[in-house]
């Protein structure tokens, strides 16, 4: 009876890899800190540097993690269902809550699924990435083509924030790179073979470079969501800058993967499992502080550092079990009511579930040509 119950429930979930949970926590913390110090960048040079020096550990790292755990198999009924309930439904739910929050502040309704609010663009891009991956892997040079598209999309002035189109294209190389870590053992082994001291040296060098370029590096360039014309870039300047940003991000994220401990780290690993909660919920909190003009009152270095410390500490609250239990219907809603029963999904046919088609009698079946491969005939 117990075995039958396990069969009905499906295969047991694989144990989570602590290394990737640690990376996820750092990515979520970086995104939260980056948004918390954004209002302070122009006033405090070290906040401007911190944002520039850490951006690649945020969204690029999240994209890499998502690619690492994404399959390139065609989206069957079950996989498509998980895409709907695991990403699309939270996107709609959090968009609605965000709109209600903004309405409570200024009494204007801003609900839109076309132009994602705050960090929700990543969820929308993630849907497109997962849908595109089975087709992208059929290309001869998928990584090179994805980088080329990320560079050339800057010339298209009509591709921007709606549907998260620009960022979907520009950050896809990070997503695909994560998929390569999953599928190419040689690539994953090469990253793992890099000495930790070398990864630390690269990270320090990139942080130092960000300090040297602090006055000339605009955080808007790092978002890669606006066309080159919006940044007054000519061809000779826009493409090299974006190419350097992409290369910078790739090197930094791979160095992060090498530096992060592979073992379970108290607090960090457990909070990493709640990385999406931290990512999705923190804009709702920051919106409240913007509404009361909290950041406008910060005028000393000590106060700015206090904001930074509170931002890091808030990850513990947002990733805590009570907050997860309270917000699970929003971040991880149960969407089974939205889907057809598993036995009626398209990939449940042909012996993989559901009711198989009635067998054809031998007399009604055409004879296969002599020497033909029976497996080549699909029923």
pLDDT 10s digits, 328-341: 999 998 877 888 77
How would DSSP label each residue in 195-207?
-HHHHHHHHHHHH
Task: Tell me the average pLDDT across 169-180.
Answer: 97
pLDDT at 11: 41
Task: Tell me: pLDDT of 363 over 50.
Answer: no
Task: Tell me: pLDDT of 34 over 90.
Answer: yes
When the pLDDT of each residue in the chain is averaged and rounded to a whole number, the result is 85
pLDDT at 353: 43
Task: Tell me: pLDDT of 272 over 60.
Answer: yes
Would 262 be classed as within a structural domain? yes
Would 167 be classed as within a structural domain? yes
> Poorest-confidence range of 9-13, 110-114, 127-131, 201-205?
9-13
Would 376 be classed as within a structural domain? no
Tell me which residue of 120, 146, 41 sits closest to 284, measured CA to CA. 120
Would 355 be classed as within a structural domain? no
Both structure tokens of 79: 């996989």
Higher pLDDT, 6 or 224: 224
Task: Tell me the average pLDDT across 16-32.
Answer: 95
Would 126 be classed as within a structural domain? yes
Would 23 be classed as within a structural domain? no
How many residues make up the chain in this entry? 379
Task: Tell me the average pLDDT across 43-49.
Answer: 94
pLDDT at 157: 86
Task: Tell me: pLDDT of 348 over 60.
Answer: no
pLDDT at 45: 93
Per-residue pLDDT band at 88 (split at 50, 70, 90): very high
Task: Tell me the average pLDDT across 327-356.
Answer: 68
The tally of domains found in the chain comes to 1
Per-residue pLDDT band at 141 (split at 50, 70, 90): very high
pLDDT 10s digits, 206-265: 999 999 998 888 888 999 988 888 876 766 688 999 999 999 999 999 999 999 999 999
pLDDT at 347: 57
Helix axes 301-318, 45-54, angle to 10 degrees: 40
Higher pLDDT, 109 or 25: 25
Q: Which domain holds residue 71?
A: 30-340
Q: Strand, helix or coil at 306?
A: helix
User: Would you say 174 and 64 are in contact if contact means Cβ atoms under 8 Å apart?
Assistant: yes
Furthest-apart CA atoms within the chain: distance in Å: 89
pLDDT at 344: 65
Query: Global pTM?
Result: 0.85
**Dist CA 264 CA 129 (whole Å):** 29
| Helix residue ranges, H only, the chain | 2-9, 18-37, 45-54, 59-68, 77-83, 89-106, 121-136, 142-152, 165-170, 172-183, 185-193, 196-212, 219-223, 235-259, 268-272, 275-291, 301-318, 321-331
Q: What is the dihedral of CA 284, 49, 150, 115, to 10 degrees?
A: 20
Distance of CA 103 to the CA centre of its chain: 27
Task: Tell me the average pLDDT across 348-364.
Answer: 44
pLDDT at 259: 95
Tell me which residue of 260, 251, 263 sits closest to 196, measured CA to CA. 260
Would 365 be classed as within a structural domain? no
pLDDT 10s digits, 48-82: 999 999 999 999 999 999 999 999 998 887 888 88
pLDDT 10s digits, 153-174: 999 988 888 889 999 999 999 9
Task: Tell me: pLDDT of 349 over 80.
Answer: no
Both structure tokens of 366: 């055409």
- 96 Cβ neighbours under 8 A, 6+ residues apart: 111
Would 186 be classed as within a structural domain? yes
Both structure tokens of 256: 């992060």
User: Would you say 154 and 238 are in contact if contact means Cβ atoms under 8 Å apart?
Assistant: yes
Higher pLDDT, 142 or 359: 142
Per-residue pLDDT band at 4 (split at 50, 70, 90): very low
Task: Tell me: pLDDT of 152 over 70.
Answer: yes
pLDDT at 107: 84
What is the DSSP code (8-state) at residue 84?
A: I
Percent of the chain with pLDDT over 90: 65
């Amino acid at each position: 009876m117990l075995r039958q119950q396990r069969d009905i429930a499906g295969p047991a979930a694989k144990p989570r890899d602590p290394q990737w949970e640690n990376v996820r926590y750092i990515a979520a913390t970086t995104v939260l800190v980056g948004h918390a110090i954004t209002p302070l960048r122009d006033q405090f040079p070290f906040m401007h540097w911190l944002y520039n020096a850490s951006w690649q550990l945020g969204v690029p790292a999240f994209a890499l993690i998502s690619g690492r755990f994404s399959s390139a198999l065609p989206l069957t009924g079950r996989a498509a269902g998980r895409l709907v309930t695991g990403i699309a439904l939270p996107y709609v739910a959090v968009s609605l809550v965000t709109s209600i929050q903004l309405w409570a502040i200024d009494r204007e309704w801003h609900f839109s699924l076309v132009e994602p609010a705050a960090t929700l663009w990543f969820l929308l891009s993630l849907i497109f990435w997962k849908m595109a991956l089975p087709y992208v892997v059929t290309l001869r040079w998928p990584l090179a083509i994805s980088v080329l598209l990320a560079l050339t999309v800057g010339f298209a002035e009509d591709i921007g924030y709606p549907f998260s189109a620009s960022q979907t294209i520009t950050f896809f190389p990070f997503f695909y790179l994560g998929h390569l870590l999953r599928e190419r053992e040689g690539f994953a082994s090469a990253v793992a073979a890099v000495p930790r001291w070398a990864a630390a040296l690269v990270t320090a060098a990139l942080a130092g470079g960000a300090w040297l370029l602090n006055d000339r590096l605009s955080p808007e360039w790092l978002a890669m969501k606006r066309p080159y014309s919006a940044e007054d870039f000519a061809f000779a300047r826009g493409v090299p800058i974006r190419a350097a940003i992409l290369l910078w991000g790739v090197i930094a994220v791979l160095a992060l993967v090498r530096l992060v401990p592979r073992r379970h780290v108290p607090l960090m690993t457990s909070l990493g499992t709640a990385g999406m909660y931290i990512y999705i919920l923190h804009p709702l909190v920051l919106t409240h502080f913007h509404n009361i003009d909290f950041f406008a009152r910060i005028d000393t270095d000590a106060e700015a550092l206090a904001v930074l410390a509170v931002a890091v500490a808030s990850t513990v609250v947002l990733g805590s079990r009570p907050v997860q239990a309270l917000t699970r219907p929003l971040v991880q809603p149960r969407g089974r009511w939205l889907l057809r029963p598993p036995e009626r999904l398209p990939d449940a046919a042909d012996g993989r579930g559901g009711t198989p088609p009635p067998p054809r009698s031998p007399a009604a079946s055409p004879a296969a040509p002599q020497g033909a491969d029976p497996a080549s005939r699909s029923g």
